[in-house]
Amino acid sequence: MNNSHSSKRGRGRPKTFDRERAIEDAMRLLWQRGPGVLSVNELCGAVGIAKPSLYREFGGEDGLVATVLECYLQTRTLPLLDELTQDLPMARLVNGLANWLVTPSTDPAGCLLAKTRSTLDTLGPKTTAQVEKMKQTQRAKLTAWMQRAQNNGELAAGLDPTIAGRFVDTQLTTLLMLAAQGEPADLLKAQTTLAFSGLTNR
Amino acid sequence: MNNSHSSKRGRGRPKTFDRERAIEDAMRLLWQRGPGVLSVNELCGAVGIAKPSLYREFGGEDGLVATVLECYLQTRTLPLLDELTQDLPMARLVNGLANWLVTPSTDPAGCLLAKTRSTLDTLGPKTTAQVEKMKQTQRAKLTAWMQRAQNNGELAAGLDPTIAGRFVDTQLTTLLMLAAQGEPADLLKAQTTLAFSGLTNR
DNA sequence: ATATATATGTACCATTTGGTATCTAATATA
DNA sequence: TATATTAGATACCAAATGGTACATATATAT
């Protein structure tokens, strides 16, 4: 509850465990390898924490993955969605997305949420709930975006914004997976353009 | 090499192991659960074969999965691709695909190839090679289809058939995954239409 | 009948898995 | 100084993993 910096120190041995640091490190590892593939043992070894620390802090693998996903949502998904769903001409945004997809980053490639979903059945209830929450959040944002696009007359005629939002959701995930597979930049850009070309009037 | 039906019986104890049957059963299981998630132990128990039989017949998990994938390619992927890539108006074919996607089947939902790819790193070299081969086969067929579509003037102007083929490949995979997740039929149809709408002239 | 050859399946192997009991180190309070 | 309290980490657990040795079953050949 209290770290070295917050409130006056309690009674026992002071904590050296850096929670934020552990979450960040675990996120990068899980992002690369995927939860359900990377074992708790391996993860603890790589992050440099003792297994009991993990269980004390996060309650187990399930709790850790759920915590990591929340961190991922806040620091990666939401910023990306906010960037993408501004009220600018859609062509501009799609182009921005395409460029973002091919821009090198210090982050691992691909989508942690997608990787988690692919092995969800081997993970715990907290993770499942967190995934569900993230799915809803993402869809809500994208649907709202499409709703505004419709109001601006940008959406193709007769297209339900809910359907369009769901479509963008899956396309986004697919594009992130393609990027993770190391597809060349020009192909990635072409796929992005093509994926969104059905949404707008031409 | 010789089963009960072929050539005169050899010397030792006659074989009761039904290879075709085992492959079919294993395919259904792997198709549902995904290779890399379903363990060898569990698989053998469910198929009703002894573990040493699996190792004798297929050389191990890797060999079995590769064999199963080949069976999947021949009996599911290729027929579907041949159905889809006929030289009919694309709108008709896309419509046919949408209907096929929502038609109940005795087969498990989703794409075995896609499930395999999602955990490829935990599988062996034979499986990896087989996946690569299937990927190439699929892309070649779809690219050729797009090539013919271009010749027929069906492809949107200025669209490279190779790019289009790759796009259809990923869209197909995505749609199969959506179907596997149990998305409702109308949403699935809408996604299909939307996914292919960027390819054709309107 | 006996020997040879092949197929099967039990029972085992070392290793790894997620998860803990418990012992020790380090602090605050009394 | 003594005690309570908390954190850390070694060393362990049962269960499951992929993989095999080997005894046994069932056939043909002599």
What are the two backbone dihedrals, phi and then psi, of residue A123, each rounded to the nearest 5 degrees? -110, 175
> CB–CB of A123/A65 below 8 Å?
yes
DSSP string covering chain A: ---TTSSS--SSSPP---HHHHHHHHHHHHHHH-BTTB-HHHHHHHHT--HHHHHHHHSSHHHHHHHHHHHHIIIIIHHHHHHHTSSS-HHHHHHHHHHHHHS--SSPSS-HHHHHHHTGGGS-HHHHHHHHHHHHHHHHHHHHHHHHHHHTT-BPTT--HHHHHHHHHHHHHHHHHHHHTT--HHHHHHHHHHHHTTTB--
What whole-number percentage of chain B has pLDDT above 70?
95
**What's the average model confidence in pLDDT over A61-70?**
96
Which residues of A, range 89-148, sit inside 8 Å of B by Cβ? 118-119, 121-122
The length of chain B, given as a count of residues:
202
Distance from C-alpha of A19 to C-alpha of B199, rounded to nearest angstrom: 49
pTM confidence score = 0.91
Pseudo-torsion of CA B88, B89, B94, B100, nearest 10°? -40
- The pLDDT value recorded for residue B156 is 94
- The pLDDT value recorded for residue A4 is 35
C strand bases under 7 Å from protein CB: 4-11, 16-22, 25-29
- The pLDDT value recorded for residue B202 is 65
Of A13-17, A63-67, A75-79, the one with minimum mean pLDDT is A13-17
- The pLDDT value recorded for residue A6 is 39
Confidence of residue A95 (pLDDT cuts 50, 70, 90): very high
Q: Is B88 touching A (CB cutoff 8 A)?
A: no
B190 contact residues in A (CB cutoff 8 A): 160, 163, 167
pLDDT exceeds cutoff 50 at A83: yes
pLDDT exceeds cutoff 90 at B2: no
| Closest approach of A110 to chain B, Cα-based (Å) | 12
> CB–CB of A148/A134 below 8 Å?
no
Of A98-102, A134-138, B8-12, B100-104, the one with minimum mean pLDDT is B8-12
Nearest nucleotide relative to B8: CA against C1': D28
Angle of CA points B16, B27, B100, to nearest 5°: 135
pLDDT exceeds cutoff 50 at A78: yes
User: For an interface test with B, which of A167, A170, A174, A189 has the most B Cβ atoms less than 10 Å from its Cβ?
Assistant: A170
Q: Which residue has the higher pLDDT, B7 or B56?
A: B56
Distance from C-alpha of B199 to C-alpha of B95, rounded to nearest angstrom: 14
A191 contact residues in B (CB cutoff 8 A): 163, 166-167, 170
pLDDT digits (tens, 9 = 90+) for B82-137: 999 998 999 999 999 999 999 999 999 999 999 999 899 899 999 999 999 999 99
Task: Please answer yes or no on whether B198 and A202 come within 8 Å at the CB atom.
Answer: no
pLDDT exceeds cutoff 90 at A192: yes
Q: Which residue has the higher pLDDT, A198 or B5?
A: A198
Q: Is B73 touching A (CB cutoff 8 A)?
A: no
pLDDT exceeds cutoff 80 at B6: no
